[in-house]
Amino acid sequence: MKLTIIETGRPPDIIAARFPRYPVMVTELLSVHVPELAVETVALVEGEALPAPEAVDAVLVTGSPHGVYDPVPWIGPLKSFMRRCAAREVPQVGICFGHQLMAEAFGGRAAKAPQGWGIGRHSYRVEHSDGFMAGHCGRDVHMAVSHQDQVLEKPDVAEVLLASDFTPYAALAYRHAPAISFQGHPEFAPDFADALIRSRRGTRFPEDLADAALESLATGQLDGDLVGRWIASFYRGSVRADSAALAA
């Protein structure tokens, strides 16, 4: 299966030398469940051009330090790209920033949340179990998070998959197109999530909030592999039968 990863952000410079870039994290997450996975990365952060929707088989949009409202020149074209992929029934997944931008592209709204920063390990209840979500066993799902923005208004065409009191629209599935998205970061390993919080403790994150987030990571599991399996199952069930992305 061929996946085009749209890279919209990088790990902070202070820890970048210790960890891979987000497309590598995503590839490691998914390749366990899709051994034949082939990946190409489009680095919007370096000014690379978006491909034509007809030239891609499946898409994933990464997290980013930007907000969907920032005056960044590639944000508008990326929204249009998402809508054009939807029209061609190209399967799409959004993570964090990608989740928020997908909601905006399809009629919702994302902005800074009145709840403030969400960091550490967050737990979500399953509001709706879609066909690709085998294996959750009715329990809560736990993911690493790092976000100040959220989807505040859900698109009419979206159904809520995961939710919490802090993040009511934590994962969405779209009914007009093969598209799903997650506010959390299934690709974040515990050591990266820990290092990210420590690098921003006392600067972007208040110390007490950062300390509570670090404790949450130390005392509970993350379900990144489960969500990675969901994403792989979603792609397998959504890639068009005539697409080159299907394995032989």
Residue numbers annotated as active site: 96, 185, 187
Q: Distance between CA 6 and CA 62 in Å, rounded?
A: 6
Give the three-state DSSP class for 163.
strand
Nearest to 95 by CA among 201, 217, 200, 230: 230
Residue 149 tokens, joined: 């923005």
Per-position b or e across 62-101, b if 16+ CB within 10 A of its CB = bbbebbbeeeeebbeebbebbeebbeeebbbbbbbbbbbb
